[in-house]
Amino acid sequence: MNQRRTNAIKKILSANDTGETGAHQAGILIPKDPDILSFFPDLGENEKNPRVKLTFYDKEGRPWQFNFIYYNNKFFGGTRNEYRLTQMTRYIQMNRLKAGDAVILRRASEGILTISHERLSSKATYRKEGVLKLGSGWKVHSS
């Protein structure tokens, strides 16, 4: 993995991420982009489905615990090989986030993790013919 650590990442939420589609998924998919993954702690490949609990603080100082998981069971006889950030549903619902809104995760110089969000869903630049065009939605965020 990349030795340089990314200090902030941003995810434009999809309808799947916010639960607007009604589908069930195991958290928000994290791309295997080295710059995005460098934000998170390294998870070994020798253990099946390794995970770590991460505590993020919002602007009010409330702690939010999320799981960063590497579903690597493909290497143990399964089919999955993906990273996910799970247990975010409560944060998304409490803040009434919708598809097109963004979640920003930051690491302060002291190692403290913070979470914030931006309302982007009302901006017409993210919509075309009633369909939200987002790609993976992840990018390195300039702090």
Interval 66-89: pLDDT, tens: 999 999 988 888 888 999 999 999
Query: Does residue 130 have a pLDDT over 60?
Result: no
- Looking at 1-143, which runs of residues are DSSP E strands? 8-12, 28-30, 51-57, 63-71, 82-86, 102-107, 113-118, 127-128, 131-132, 138-140
Q: Name the pTM for this structure.
A: 0.82
User: How much of the chain, in percent, has pLDDT values that exceed 90?
Assistant: 59
**pLDDT: which is higher, 43 or 125:** 43
- pLDDT value, residue 136: 61
Domains and their CATH numbers in the chain: 8-140 (2.40.330.10)
